[in-house]
Amino acid sequence: MTTQTPPTTAEHPAQDPASGTRDSGAYGDSLAGIYDLLYPAGPEVALVADFVHSLRPAPATLLELGVGTGRLAVPLAERGFRVHGVDSSPQMLRRLAENDHTGTVTSSVGDFAASTVGRRFDVVLLALNTLFMLPTQEQQIAALRNIREQLADTGVAVLEMYEPMVFHGLDEPSVKVHHLAPDSLVVDTVQVSRSQQTALVVHTVLGPGTVRKVPEVSRYAWPSEFALMARLAGLRITGRWSDWQRTPVTEQSQRYICVLEREA
C-alpha cells in the first residue's frame, strides 16, 4: 500500500481590495523564490537600459522603486548607472543581493508610497505596472509626490504601466498558465471589478505536492487619470510611448512608457 501526502495550500493575505489595506511586502515575500522564473530578464532589459541612457546617460544616479530581484537594476548598474533600489519585500531584496554579483546596487526596505530615501536622483524608475500595486488613488498620488521629491531638479521619472482596457475589457475571469520548471507551474486567474478599477490576480503556484495561492490586487488608472494624478503631484508628462523603442502610442497600445519631469 502506498500513502500520498495531500497537497499543502498556503494563502497569503497580501491585499484587501475592499478596504485598500495591504501588506505591501507580502506579494514580494511570497513570490521572491520564483520571481526570476516568472519574469526572466529577457532581451527587453537591454532596451530599458538604452531608453534610460538616452534620457540621462550613465553614470547618472538612478532610484528604482519596487526593485524586486534586480531584473532591471542589475543590468542598469552593469551599464554604469549608480543604482539604489527600494522594495517592501526583504525576500526580494535578498534575491537582488544574490543576483548582484559585484554588489554594486544599494538597496533599502521601504514602502515607496509612504517614505522616501532622503536623497535626489537623476532618474526614478517604476517599471512593470508597479504603481498599480498601490490599491488606492490616494496612495498612487502619494507615490508620485514621493517620486517628485526624490527627483533632482533636472531629473526624469520613467513609469511603465499597462493600458487598463487589457483588464477592464474582460467580461469574465481569465486564466493563464506559465511553465516554471519541469515540475512546477503557475496558474494566473484574473477577475476584474470595473467599479473599483481593480484586477484581482491570483497566482496559484503548483509544485511537487504543493499548492500555494498568492493574491495580488492591481488598481489600474486611466491614462487621463494618471496625467491628472501626476499634475497633482507636481509632475508633468514629457513623453509617452507604447514600448521601450519609442513606438508611438496608438489605439492598439497595450502599455505605456511615460517620462515625467518636475513641474517648475
Ligand X SMILES: C[S@@+](CC[C@H](N)C(=O)[O-])C[C@H]1O[C@@H](n2cnc3c(N)ncnc32)[C@H](O)[C@@H]1O
Which residues sit at the interface with ligand X, rule CB under 6 A?
24, 27-28, 39, 66-68, 71-72, 86-89, 92, 111-113, 127-128, 130, 133-134
Q: Which lies closer to ligand X via its Cβ, residue 203 or residue 240?
A: 203
Q: DSSP character for 39?
A: S
Q: Which lies closer to ligand X via its Cβ, residue 8 or residue 106?
A: 106
Q: At closest approach, how far in Å is the CB of 85 from ligand X?
A: 8
Q: Which lies closer to ligand X via its Cβ, residue 85 or residue 155?
A: 85
- Give Cβ neighbours of residue 117 (< 8 Å, ≥ 6 apart): 63, 84, 86, 108, 110, 150
At 144, list the grid cell. Answer: 508620485
User: For residues 166 and 261, what is the distance between their CA atoms, to the nearest angstrom?
Assistant: 27
Q: Which lies closer to ligand X via its Cβ, residue 98 or residue 263?
A: 98
Contact 213, 203 (CB under 8 A): yes
What's the half-sphere exposure (Cβ side, CA atoms, 13 Å) at 164?
19
User: For residues 236 and 220, what is the distance between their CA atoms, to the nearest angstrom?
Assistant: 19
Q: Which lies closer to ligand X via its Cβ, residue 68 or residue 155?
A: 68
**CA–CA distance from 258 to each of 91, 216, 224, 227, 230 (Å)?**
29, 23, 12, 10, 11
